[in-house]
Chains A and B, each alone.
Chain A
Amino acid sequence: MKLEKAGFGAVEVVDRQSVSVDDFTLYPLFTGDLITLMRTLIPEERQSSVATAVVVRAIRSASAA
């Protein structure tokens, strides 16, 4: 895992939330054409969870460079 390679320890995911296509409409990188593409190509029953928002915690190891 990239965080551990960088010198972090005690890496943990403390929260996970599903992200839907509707959620993505709020963010500027997800343009109208991309949202339309997602609504067209992703089966409706899967559109409620197309990504996961996570909260990650870690501690910088004392031994890191």
Chain B
Amino acid sequence: METYWTYSRIKAIAVAVVALVGAIVLAYAGSEKILTYLIPAYIWAIVAMGWTAIFRTGQFSLGQGAFMMIGAYSSAILTTSVAETTQITSAIFQLPVLVGMLIAAVISGVLAFIIGAITLRLGGIFFCIVTLAFNEVIRIVAVGLPHWFGGVNGILAPFPGPFGIDFQHSKRPFYLLTLMILVLAAIVFWRLDKSRIGSRFRAVAANKNLAEHTGLHLAKYRIIAFTVAGTFAGLAGALFGHYLHVVTPTLFGMAEAIMVLIMCTAGGTRSPVVGATVGALVLSPLGDYLTSKLQGGKLMVFGIIVLLVAFFLVNGISSAPDSIKDLIVGRMKKVRA
């Protein structure tokens, strides 16, 4: 048995606690404007962690946008209450928002399982292409069934309001809710990665032939990762829908699915949680800022960031401190020699 309280474990827990305390302090010290940047960043971080989990089984999902869409629409349909005004027949459930979001996550997870079961036996490029096209499929369904999905105008997603907390006039409760789900996602993906299943994920990714010959069922582990990721993408999409208050067919799609990929690769995929979080925290506010300043600026800058990271910082932004340390240590060694 190795010791439980290793240095790296203590360090990881310390970093996590400091980050969490910082995030809670920000909720009360920061202005509403900061929160409008941070809430989407946290939501993207949840999706990005899922993508990283899939990536760590050696697969390359381009469909996380579709699962966010599924989550957003499911939750909006389950909770919306404005049937009369927009001629939508879907306002028959009128569930509480938190319940709706949980069911939306389950629906998204089930669909992820089905898509995964079909495509992950082959994996690789087939998986890429089908998940990419899946974004488009969801959009077509949303536009094609206007009575359920509200057509191109979309569907209103009510603010959550459990226990009489006011989500409408302050962003703080929503920020804290998002933070809670982010922490939940981080714990799930961290535990998943450290578990027996997580080590099998890495085995499947590292050498699929070897993994298969040692008795691992490749598709099984890929499907597990894809389903968990799809569940959390659905939950994140539902959060985003209720945050924006309206869900439209163009909310998430191919571009957003690739943006998730960019956040993860820019942040780094060495860790199941850290890289995705760092990538989302850096790129999401940057993207929101650039969108408000310049049409197309976000896409251009994101693309350039990916290229720069791919060539100069292979392990992502989250590895930058290590890279800088290596650089300085290397220099010092050179000077001494």
The answer to whether A and B belong to the same complex is no
B residues adjacent to A (C-beta < 8 A) = none
A residues adjacent to B (C-beta < 8 A) = none
